Amino acid sequence: MRGMAATLDDNARQLAELAKLKAETELLEAQNRKARAETDAKLQVEIQKLIAETSKANAETTKITRETKWFPLYVFSGAVAAAVAILAIAAGFLKFLAWLKI
């Protein structure tokens, strides 16, 4: 009888230990789920930031490319305007010399 009572006590202790381990496991799993959810949320925020920064960089690149495409035209227009100004000054100088009859 005594041996059977000891076995029952051992079984009861083992069941209590198993219940305790199960409760600890459930607590750890809940903490793990919470940490994973927080990490996923942080990653989503970081991903959205990176997407926004990439979009901004792409927009700036497009703007610079568009402006750079017209740069040679601006330089050429300036050179033509300078040449016209020099010719106008030279023509005026020639008229002045003709007026002086030199």
User: 11 or 45: whose pLDDT is higher?
Assistant: 45
Q: What is the pLDDT of residue 32?
A: 97
3-class DSSP state for residue 90? helix
Q: What pLDDT digit, counting tens, does each position of 36-92 carry?
A: 999 999 999 999 999 999 999 999 999 999 888 888 899 999 999 999 999 999 999
Structure tokens at 90: 């030279």
Q: What pLDDT digit, counting tens, does each position of 65-75 carry?
A: 988 888 889 99
Burial degree of 18 (CB within 10 A; 0-12, 13-18, 19+): exposed
Q: What is the pLDDT of residue 63?
A: 92
